[in-house]
Amino acid sequence: DVEIEKCKDKELSEVRNQKIGFVFQNFNLLPRQSALDNVALPLQYAKVPIKKRKQKAKEMLEMVDLADRVSFKPTQLSGGQKQRVAIARAMVADPKILLAEPTGALDSKSGLQVMELFDTLHKQGVTIIMITHSDEIASYADRVVKIIDGELYEGDAQPVTGGDEHE
């Protein structure tokens, strides 16, 4: 319900912090911070009091099955664990939209765990927009749109238009 084209920089920052979660392929975790502090970071930017943000970050780590890793630094975590910390960080502000390139750097077992987590989040009402090169990962989606030579296609190579069937 926000026309982002009309937003000023501060308003855009608020939208990104409160309405959209980002999960990057390379995790983008702060190397000297614990998993808990990495997850709590968006709440710090949102000026949530420290006690509340630590509690919420802990809940998110529990959600991604990493309650036993709260004090671990990224170098002490596997790739799949780093990705789950990144997902917890993306979800800590309860966004309605999650933009993700979730599995490019993961082995197949960790990728499956991430997709199961995304399925759970989707069932809780989160819209997930994924970018992937994997047909297997794309098969989890309700809708698949492909980009071929800069053009959008859906299903069996049907061009995606702006909604006007006569274009």
Instruction: Give the Å distances, CA to CA, from 121 to 88, 126, 129.
Output: 11, 6, 12
d(CA 28, CA 90): 11
Q: Which residues are paired to 154 by β-bridges? A: 145, 158
Query: 41 pLDDT band (50/70/90 cuts)?
Result: very high
pLDDT tens, position by position, 50-73: 999 999 999 999 999 999 999 999
**pLDDT in the model for residue 71:** 97
* Residue 150 token pair: 């800069």
Nearest to 114 by CA among 70, 58, 65: 65
pTM above 0.85, yes or no: no
Q: Which of 18-27, 41-50, 65-74, 81-90 is predicted least confidently?
A: 18-27
d(CA 159, CA 110): 33
pLDDT tens, position by position, 92-151: 998 999 998 876 666 777 777 778 888 888 998 999 998 888 888 888 888 999 888 888
